[in-house]
Chain A
């Protein structure tokens, strides 16, 4: 049975490296993906993840009564990511690997992927984070509310607005495919 996150976190805070690494392995990829999608920068995403763990290891910050460790970590990461976006303007990089793929078969998929990335990047920051947490990291509405410090109803409203905007912007890609053999 997996050890409880909050127990791992408290042991890690006491200096137990094994507990820290277990917890880190659980949230390494989700936190990085979230920070990367939010900031569109690998360097910023790595900085955010590192600072997120440093902040999480400072005692007295996490309160188990206020939600899960997962929601807490995403909350710390989103605060750090937004602080960086505010500091440096919006740092953007090309979506990794996009320029390296030449074959025509991949082109359509890359274009679709880039279109999604651009559509999400164009959302207002608070809607963007709600979509990323819900769609890509599978956080529940309650967890998103804990991570972002708002009511569940407000999360629902943000998600609804974001999805409507995305549906409008991505309408050409949502339409039935007109290229035979190119659509799954």
Chain B
């Protein structure tokens, strides 16, 4: 790579053209087209996970599901209660016009 090598100046006689302005427009359009809306970009987001990490996570999830299933007792249907409360309104008569009569305990005839 000698600086005074006569090959170097000769090689530099071959000049390349500048790119056309159309290229700038194409590249800008490609950039803007790629950007898109934020919700569109959500669909293109990729997350790379090493395979061992992915396998470990899957194992952990499977193990926790299995443990959860084993520790929860099977649910039984609720048993009917021993006390039944009933309220019957048959034969009930409201007091006429709210008139009340006080009866002393001695006056009550059995």
In the complex, chain B residues whose CB is within 8 Å of the CB of A53: 27, 30-31
Residues of B within 8 A of A113 (CB): 13-15
CB closest chain-B residue, reference A24? B27
Chain B interface: which of A2-10, A27-35, A71-79, A142-150? A27-35
**Are A174 and B7 in contact, with the CB atoms below 8 A?**
yes
Closest to B46 in A: A60
**Is B26 on the interface with A (CB-CB < 8 A)?**
yes
- A142 smallest CB distance to B (angstroms): 14
Please tell me if the beta carbons of A174 and B6 are within 8 angstroms of each other in the complex: yes
The answer to whether B14 touches A120, judged by C-beta atoms less than 8 angstroms apart, is yes
Across the interface, which residues of B come within 8 angstroms of A120, CB to CB? 11, 14
Interface of chain B residues 33 through 80 with chain A (CB within 8 A): 34-35, 41, 46, 48
Q: In the assembled complex, which residues on chain B have CB atoms less than 8 Å from the CB atom of A163?
A: 5, 7
Min CB distance, B8 to chain A, in Å? 7
Which residues of A50-91 are within 8 A (CB) of B?
Answer: 50, 53-54, 57, 60
Contact present for B34 and A116 (CB under 8 Å): no
Number of chain A residues close to chain B: CB under 8 A: 40
- Identify which of A28, A50, A136, A159 contacts B16 (C-beta below 8 A): A136
Task: Determine the chain A residues whose CB is within 8 A of the CB of B35 once the complex forms.
Answer: 15, 17
**B27 surroundings in chain A (CB, below 8 A):** 24, 49-50, 53
Please give me the residue from chain B that is nearest to A117 by CB atom.
Answer: B14
Please state if A57 and B19 are interface contacts (CB–CB under 8 Å). Answer: no
Q: Which of B1, B11, B24, B34 has the most CB of A within 10 A?
A: B11
User: Complex Cα distance A78/B16, Å?
Assistant: 17
Given contacts A28-B19, A29-B18, A53-B30, contact A112 B13 (CB under 8 A): yes
Q: List 29 A-B contacts (CB under 8 A).
A: A12-B31, A17-B31, A17-B32, A20-B31, A21-B28, A28-B23, A28-B24, A32-B16, A32-B18, A42-B20, A45-B19, A46-B20, A46-B23, A53-B30, A53-B31, A57-B31, A109-B13, A112-B13, A113-B14, A116-B14, A117-B14, A120-B11, A120-B14, A131-B11, A135-B8, A135-B11, A163-B5, A166-B11, A173-B10
Chain A residues near B (Cβ < 8 Å): 12, 15, 17, 20-21, 24, 28-29, 32-33, 36-37, 42, 45-46, 49-50, 53-54, 57, 60, 96-97, 109, 112-113, 116-117, 120, 131, 134-136, 159, 163, 166-167, 170, 173-174
List B residues at the A interface (Cβ < 8 Å). Answer: 1, 5-8, 10-20, 22-24, 26-28, 30-32, 34-35, 41, 46, 48
